[in-house]
């Protein structure tokens, strides 16, 4: 037991020392106005370099990813029908599709699928 504690303490101390050492070595304090500003052919930028991010776009992208995964789960359903009990397959498939339809209705009802307000 003592050997495990000693080994884990040495590993933690060694990893902490390496992290501190790399932080000190890689620290760059050359903050310059020219280096931190975006490059626009040598001229000062007229607009901000950061573009506003649309959270609406992010929400629609997440919804798309969720339904994309669900479609990947739906594709093997006809193949599994041949290898399983038809009654159990119908119940499971119907329940899965019902959950998908309820989720789609909820997102539609909440207005999550509307791109513009």
Of the two residues 1 and 40, the one the predictor is more confident about is 1
pTM of this prediction exceeds 0.75: no
Backbone φ/ψ region at 114: left (φ over 0), alpha (ψ -120 to 50), beta: beta
Of the two residues 24 and 38, the one the predictor is more confident about is 24
> Above 80 in pLDDT, residue 105?
yes
pLDDT digits (tens, 9 = 90+) for 30-86: 666 666 666 656 665 566 666 677 777 888 888 888 888 888 888 888 888 888 888
112 vs 114: CA distance, rounded Å:
6
Return all residues near 49 (Cβ < 8 A) that are at least 6 apart. Answer: 37, 38
The answer to whether residues 67 and 103 touch, using CB atoms and an 8 Å cutoff, is no
For residues 95-114, average pLDDT: 86
The answer to whether residues 56 and 107 touch, using CB atoms and an 8 Å cutoff, is no
The answer to whether residues 20 and 13 touch, using CB atoms and an 8 Å cutoff, is no
């Amino acid at each position: 037991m003592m050997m495990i504690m000693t080994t884990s303490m040495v590993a933690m101390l060694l990893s902490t020392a390496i992290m501190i050492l790399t932080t000190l070595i890689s620290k760059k304090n050359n903050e310059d106005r020219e280096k931190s500003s975006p490059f626009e052919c040598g001229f000062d930028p007229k607009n901000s370099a950061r573009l506003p991010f649309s959270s609406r776009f992010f929400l629609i992208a997440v919804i798309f990813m969720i339904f994309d995964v669900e479609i990947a789960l739906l594709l093997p359903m006809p193949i599994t029908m041949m290898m399983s009990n038809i009654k159990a397959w119908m119940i499971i498939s119907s329940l899965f599709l019902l959950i998908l339809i309820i989720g789609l209705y909820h997102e539609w009802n909440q207005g999550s699928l509307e791109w513009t307000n």
